[in-house]
Structure 1
């Protein structure tokens, strides 16, 4: 039994929301990066993929000083530098966000369909409004020249 004044074994919903806010407002965090986190007790486990090593270190720095966070495990992968992958990123962005039903997503500060490219393989991460949007994004990405494979990890918002 926990005594009054003892620390809780889990983080408050407010702290969890602040973690999310700090991650999505990182400098240089954009549509070509993907950040996620899990909480185990008072430990935050950072996951995802980023193009810049500074984004990885900044994510950890912005989370570790939050009240209620005792430890941060940084499992964020820094993607390899590749001009070919950069070309695929731009082409995939254009292919997805030029689709009329998906254009509404492009005008957000960080568009919700994240395009992760590693060695010619594309992974779509994020949340869309409908199953049709998920399918359209996947189909558009598959049509990009130079792409070896596309993994569609997009989730559909709960209605």
Structure 2
């Protein structure tokens, strides 16, 4: 018998997290008419970048590493977010020079999968992917708002 998930759990689904991220990046892409204006403009305008993280991110809290690099500009963040969106929508190209790394990681993961519980691994990676997508969505929204501020459109 097929179960219909309630709307609260469905709101937290990976599919919806991906859609929120893709929507935020699409909004950013439609808002940013002149990407070159983003060069050398810091993403955080004087704020504390380390303060921007989710409560469910024990890795960032444990090593006190911000997930927004202070030295990156808005342009590099813009390009990164669009690249990640394209990877989600179209898949990762194997000819991008990282295929060999992935093959090695895939082999290690395969061996671990045989030794460990697959359900635990799935939930671990699902939670991690959900957390990363939430952070990237926040970053896309922040970049869009900062661009509006820079060009004088404000919220």
TM-score range, shorter chain: under 0.3
- Looking at secondary structure, tell me which structure has more strand per residue: 1
Normalized against structure 2, the TM-score is what?
0.24
- Relative contact order, CA 8 A, sep 6+: which one is greater? 2
TM-score by length of 1: 0.23
